Amino acid sequence: YEANMAMHDCDVMFAVGARFDDRVTGNLDFFAPGSQKVQIDIDPSSINKNVPVDIGIVGDIGHVLEDMIKIWKAKQYKLDAQALDGWWKEIEGWREKHCLSYKQPKDVIKPQHVIRRVHALTRDRKTYITTDVGQHQMWAAQHFGFEHP
């Protein structure tokens, strides 16, 4: 929920190696309607393929992001802490809805519970998580507390 709200209401969206699959965008007429979109991909045929973007950058993501960070640092931009405070309050408001909560019955082990337990038991280890496509992929993304990419 929080990610969907952030995407929908953003000013600028950076799509880094993302192809804007219809499972992500839904109805294109309502996909982040007020945003400027920047798409970075190594495959030029992916730029503007599913969603029209304002800026398309073709290149290796590692190099492109490295260059963007260098430019950011060279220009000595400063973060607006007050604006970020408001942003975090908005995110906390979305999180208070607990949209991913579930009831764990005593007689059935819910998959969400399994994934949260796996995370709890492996959080201090170098862990690799892989899934096939389907609902379990969504549960892993939603309930495994990823700390690193």
Span 98-133, pLDDT tens digits = 888 888 899 999 999 999 999 999 999 998 989 988
Q: Pick from 2, 26, 42: which is nearest to 15 by CA? A: 42
Superfamily of domain 2-95: TPP-binding domain (3.40.50.1220)
Please state the domain extents for the chain.
2-95, 101-149
- Supply the DSSP symbol for 96: T
- Structure confidence by residue, pLDDT tens digits, 70-96: 999 999 988 888 888 988 898 899 889
- Supply the DSSP symbol for 13: E
What is the predicted pLDDT for the residue at 95?
Answer: 86
Average model confidence (pLDDT) across the chain:
90
CB 119 within 8 A of CB 97: no
Backbone φ and ψ of 69, nearest 5°: -65, -40
- Cα 18 to the center of its chain, rounded Å: 10
Report helix, strand or coil for 15: strand
Backbone φ and ψ of 117, nearest 5°: -70, -40
Predicted model pTM: 0.69
